[in-house]
Amino acid sequence: MIELNVFKKLMLENHDRLPLLTLDEFFEGNKAEDSIAPNDCGFGRPSIAEIWELMRELEKRPDVAWIRIELHNDTEIAEYEGKEVLVLAGESLIVCTSLSALELETLARCEWLCSGGAEEWEESAMDSLFSCRPPVPDGFHCFAIVWD
């Protein structure tokens, strides 16, 4: 999971725009099952370990440039027992791909994820809301795999 100090630095450098996190920055060491798609946690949504594994495999495909985690505004730095702790709240999975929405929904197993499917994002809209977006190669576009 992204380190607290790294997260704080990204927020400061990017005028409080939440960063798009890599799969490892979000999932590695993250044991909070409700940190992504909390409304579906315990209601059929696979575990975060299973989501991470599926996304790692998907990201290896030549028709996928990258995958990032869009954070929800509920992401916060909280204090527990006198210590600051980063509490991540994932909103959606952002996939940069040359696939169509339907192809992506099939490969990402959206039904199994209890997801509402893939919605296309414009680069400019992402950049106005989030930081740390990698380049989008020619012929590729970005989709959010959404819940709710």
Domain parsing of the chain, residue ranges: 4-146
What pLDDT does residue 39 have? 82
pLDDT in tens, the chain (148 residues): 999 999 999 999 999 999 999 999 999 999 999 999 988 888 889 999 999 999 999 999 999 999 999 999 999 999 999 999 999 999 999 999 999 999 999 999 999 999 999 999 999 999 999 999 999 999 999 999 999 7
Task: Report helix, strand and coil shares of the chain as percent, to nearest 5.
Answer: 30, 30, 40
Contact between residue 96 and residue 140 where contact means Cβ atoms under 8 Å apart? yes
Q: What is d(CA 100, CA 143) in angstroms, rounded to the nearest whole number?
A: 9
How do 130-131 and 76-80 pair as beta strands? unpaired
* Phi, psi for residue 25 in degrees, rounded to 5: -60, -30
- The DSSP bridge partners found for residue 142 are 96, 121
The structure's pTM equals: 0.94
What are the pLDDT digits (tens) for 36-74?
998 888 888 999 999 999 999 999 999 999 999 999 999
